[in-house]
Structure 1
């Protein structure tokens, strides 16, 4: 089957600044494809070009087999979209706003809006302008999903949602994939990508710096660590060497016989914990950095060699 989305050297320039640089992507049918990277990496610009909200400076794109520029309303009806800067401020009630969207999208199955609203905990009777940011986001999700589109394009879709609603959203995405339809998902949230995406492209400054499945891209390998130890006397230098060998990139400082360890681990925590276990541990904290930091530390900027990681370990 042909790709649902295919780009060839897709580029967008704003004057002397290049927002997206020679982007080559293929999104296969029936998958969830994650587009991730730090702010300014070109994610939103890419999505807007695919939807013909903005036009590329050069290159080509096909969405559902059609160039976005010539697809017109027929193509747009096959796509569900929620923008990253969703702005809804109507005096109308939520139900009325969705009825308006339904008139310009593909037909909406009977009861579909009510079912989605119930799943997300959205009150459709309230005026949109009285809704919180999270509830406006829910309204945006309902309008994106309600007509069962062939392709969902979701830009930071869980912004403002509480954890329970985020979990429900991920179940909705899984249902779309199970039905053979396709999702293109832009996100800053690593756990969201880990739980939902089949394939991922990592963007930095408009370039793809890595591409593959989430496990092979190692986005969850980094850890911030802090620990306080009471090591045996005379083991100070040995402790520092052992921690460095276990993958610690950071420092060990000493205060009144207490070792304070701070830094970052690139890799598993097993070797690090085994070193600590030889001493009396007074305090320990292991945290996962945010997605932006993971991308920048693991893959650097676009000057780093692009990686095309095949599925599988390593």
Structure 2
């Protein structure tokens, strides 16, 4: 298990000034992939005229994406009797939706891994990536069960990027992060309170400020900003609500963010979250169907992740 480099420093009496927070975040290197997420591939997978051979040709140009593609199609989730080593054949088995998910996750994770190599703290990064991808998968499943019509990949991206603020914290606020890692919290809300007390902003606000620099859509920025408190979002509240639920359920599945000492999540506790009430209401038929959908995704999640991470 990765450990921090040294004992956490003593916390400051007061948090940082807002201008100092922004200055530190703005010095954090940009991620090129956030501005150009799967542009070439997305044009192909959204076209009804695209052939598997064309999609496979684009994937072959990216060794990391090719490796993840083959690893996923040969995972337990697909249960194929023979091993697939052909990219075009793998594209056929996966389908366009999961190709898009792979193409979005791969460049972001690679650049975040490169960014963390420049930080002063050794952290359980793989746990963070696993949590982020699991949250992305579940966020998409949750929003698919609502009347909200989404014709792009916003539903996946908001889950994938919801904890990007923690990566920025490792780069811009390493001493504060070491203190936070060493401080137990009762839950995500309590941990966010500790972040605000120590830094001035929590990881949600830090992440939203960071990705806003990449000119991502307002829906994504607001979902990241308010995923811990969706009823405070001035717009796009349902996106933030879905991420809040997904993050909570993924923690229940034992896939933590890896950076905090937080009490385990209790089964069905997500039913009391503001996000659940915003999306499904109380104990009506929509809530019952959503509970069944979440339970089904939880069963499939470990095998789905096996090929992605």
TM-score when normalising by structure 1: 0.28
Greater gyration radius: 1
Higher normalized strand content (fraction of residues)? 1
Q: Which has the higher contact order (CA 8 A, sep 6+)?
A: 2
Higher normalized helix content (fraction of residues)? 2
TM-score when normalising by structure 2: 0.28
